[in-house]
Structure formats: structure tokens, C-alpha cells
Amino acid sequence: MRAAGAADFFLSVGTSLQVYPVAGAVDIARSAGAKVVIINAEPTPFDAMADAVFHDSISEVLPRLCS
């Protein structure tokens, strides 16, 4: 959780973000000013607060983000 509080960028990949304490890392990162990007096939409770959300296949989105 300390890393989330010090992050400039928070990438959530393949999780529904419904299980704590990990789901709380999104709030911590966002509160610290980090940009939040979520990649998950289904919507998450944090989609509205994210800077970008991808509801596509991880194997398709990650290579595009990394290039």
C-alpha cells in the first residue's frame, strides 16, 4: 500500500477490484495524485474514477499500451 501512495501511475490489470485490501490501493494511488488505468473484461467499482478504462482482452490492450 505504501507503493500505491508513492505512485505516479497505477495500472490495474485483470481484477474486479472488489477484494480488499488490494482494491483500496486504487483510492490510495488516486489520492496521492497518480494516474489510474484499469484493464479488465468487466466493469469495476473504480471505473468512474480512473483516468482510462479498457474493457478489452488483456492480451490485446497491454501490447498496445507498451508500444
pLDDT the model gives residue 22: 86
pLDDT the model gives residue 65: 85
Check if the beta carbon of residue 45 is closer than 8 Å to that of residue 17: yes
pLDDT the model gives residue 67: 86
Global confidence as pTM:
0.90
How many whole angstroms separate alpha carbon 49 and alpha carbon 58? 20
Kindly state the DSSP code that residue 48 receives in the 8-state scheme: G
Q: What is the pLDDT along the chain (67 residues), one digit of tens a residue?
A: 889 999 999 999 998 999 998 889 999 999 999 999 999 999 999 999 999 999 999 999 999 988 8
pLDDT the model gives residue 32: 95
How many whole angstroms separate alpha carbon 31 and alpha carbon 42? 24
